[in-house]
Amino acid sequence: MAGGALLLSACGQSSDEASKPSASASAGAAQTITYAGEQEFNSYNSTAVNNLVNSTAMQRVLAGFWYYGENGVVTPDKDFGTYTKSSDDPLTVNYEFNASAVWSDGTPIDCDDALLFWAAKSGKVKGFQIDGSSGVELTKAPDCKAGDKKFTFEYSEPFADWESNGPGAADLLPAHVAYKAAGMSEADFIAAVQAEDAKKLEGVIKFYNEGWVIEGGIKDLSLFPASGPYKISAMEAGQSLTLTANDKWWGPKPATPTIVMRVISQEEQAQALQNREVNLIEPQPNPDLLAQLEGMQGITVKTGDAYTYEHLDFNFDSSAFKDKTLREAFAKCVPRQLIVDNLIKPLAPQAQVLQVRTKLPFEADYATVAQGSGSESYGQPDIEGAKALLEKAGKAGMEVKIGHNLPNPRRTQEVQLISDSCGKAGFKIVDVGDEKFFEAGGPLATNSYDVALFAWSGSAEVSGWSSEFTTAKECSEAGKENNNGCYSSKEVDALIKKLNGEVDKTKHPAMIAEIEKALWTDLATIPLFAHPNMLAWDEKLQGIVPNPAQSSMTWNMDKWSLAS
C-alpha cells in the first residue's frame, strides 16, 4: 500500500476534461515512465488483499464506470460505459458497457462481469471476501443475459452514494476467468448468481478470494486480463510490475507505452529519484525526506491535503481492550498533540490533532462534526488519570502490542512516543511492527495485536467508511470487511444505516456528528492526524495531477509523458 494506508471504498463529481486520457506519445517523449512505491503489488483483486498499492496499480488496468478524478471527486468514465438514474422510487440506475468494451484477451465485457461484481459486493452470495457491501446489498441481482451490455441496479431503499455504487476503477474483475477456473460454463455461472446459490459458486468464490492473490510473482498472465488502457505485461517478484499499452483498449491510447512500478524502500526513494532511476515517487511523508527532496535540482515537490488519516484501532476480538476502562486508560496517555507537533507539523505547519474519524480538517463541515464530539476529553495526556484507571482495573504493567507495517520510520517513531508517554501510566508498550502486517494471513487480518496503527485512505463519500464501524458479519479474515478490530454497536449500526439512506446531503453533517459522539463514547478507535500528501517527480514529467482520494496519483497515468 502506498503510504501503508488501507483502502476504503467511497466517492464525488468532476469535469469530463480532466478525465480524458492523452493522445498517443508525441515525438521526443520517453517510452517508459517509472514510479516508485514502498510496497509490492500483490493482488489483482484489490479487495482480496485490501492494500492501497493494489488499487493504485490497477487504476488504469481495470477500468470502470467511474473513478476518483481531479480533486478526488467521482467522475464518470464515458469511454468505458454510461450510467443514469431512471427512477427515485424505487431508486433505479441503468448501466451500459461501451459496445466495443472487451478484456485484453478479446472476451467481451458484459453481463457476467456485472454479475460477478454484484455477487461479491452485495454479500448475498456468502463466502466472497470483500471490503464492504455498503449500498450494493440493497440491490437485486441484475436481470441480464449472456452477452448483454446493459444491466440495472434497483434499490430496495434510497442510497446516498448511488453514483459511486456501481463498478468503478479497479472494481470490475473478469468473470470468465473465475468461472472457467472453477469449471463452470457462462450460462451456469449466470444462473447460479441470479439464484444466489453459493453452493454452486464455491469454486468461483474460492478463485475470487485466492486466485488473483500474487505470491512470488505472476505465473500465468492469462489470469490477469485488462479492461483499461494498460495491461500487466510482466512482474519481477519483490522488484517491479510492468504495465504496457493494451492493444485491445477501444479508447484514446496512453501517452506513454510503458509504466514500470518499482518497489523501493522509503529510505532509498529520494536517492533513486535524484539519480533518475525513477521519475516519480509518492512516499510516506516525513520531515527529513521533505527537506532532502526540496534540496534537489530538477525535482518538483508537492504537498497537500489527502482523504487519508492515521489512527489507533483496538482489538475487540482477542485482547484485554474489550474492557472499556482499559481503552479509556490507554486513550488518556496517548500523546496525540506531541505526535502531530513532532512528526507532522514540520511537513504541514497547519496540521492539527484529528478530532473525528469521518471528516478531515480541510472539509467544510469538519468543525460541525468535531464540535462536542467527545474528543476534547483526550486532547492532552492525563497520565495520572490513566494510571488510576489501570490500577483500578488491576492491570498495572499491562503489555500492549502495537502492530503496524514495516519499514515505516514515522510509525516506528509514533510507537516510541506512545511508549514514552503510556509507560509513565503503567503500560508496557511493545512494538510488533511487521513487514507482512497488511498481507492476507498477516497480523491485521488475524488480530495478532492489541492496538493497530495504520491509515485509512478514502474519499468524501459517506458510505466509504461505513464498513469500518458496522458490526462485522463474523470476526474472521473473510467476514470482517473493513472492521478489522471487530468493533460492534447496535446504536452505531442503526445510525450508519440511516445516514447511508439519506440522499439530502445537507443533513449529513448533523447525522455524522451523532455517529462520532457514539464512537468517542465507546472509544471505538483513536484518530491521530490527517495525512499531508507528498509527491515528488522529475520536472520533465508532464500530466501529473495530485489526487487526495484513494485513487492516488495514478488515476490518470495514461496521460503521463516524459521528455526524453
Intervals of the chain under pLDDT 70: 1-28, 131-133
Sequence-ordered strand ranges (E) for 58-173: 66-68, 74-76, 81-88, 91-97, 150-154
CB burial string 355-381: b at 16+ within 10 A, e below: bbbbbbbebeebeebbeebbbeebeeb
Instruction: Go through 117-155 and write b for each residue having 16 or more CB atoms within 10 A of its CB, e for each that does not.
Output: bbbbbbbbbebbbbbbbbbbebbebbebeeebbebbbbb
| Separation CA 487–CA 519 (nearest Å) | 10
Q: Virtual CA dihedral for 153, 158, 164, 170, nearest 10 degrees? A: -60
CA-nearest of 528, 530, 461 to 304 is 530
Question: How many C-beta atoms surround the C-beta of residue 384 within 10 A?
Answer: 12
pLDDT score at 27: 52
Angle at 443 between CA 437 and CA 444, to 5 degrees: 80
Give the list of residues 6+ apart from residue 51 with CB closer than 8 angstroms, or none: 1, 6, 7, 39, 42, 43, 438, 439
> Comparing C-alpha atoms, which of 31, 22, 407 is closest to residue 242?
31
Which residues, in sequence order, are CB contacts of 528 under 8 Å at separation 6+? Answer: 309, 310, 311, 312, 336, 339, 340, 353, 354, 414
- What is the structure's pLDDT at 21? 34
pLDDT at 133: 56
> Which amino acid, 456?
W
The alpha-helical segments, DSSP class H, found in 24-110 are 52-58
- Alpha helices, DSSP H, located in 396-438: 409-425
Instruction: Map residue 77 onto helix, strand or coil.
Output: coil
pLDDT value of residue 162: 95
Contact 481, 133 (CB under 8 A): yes
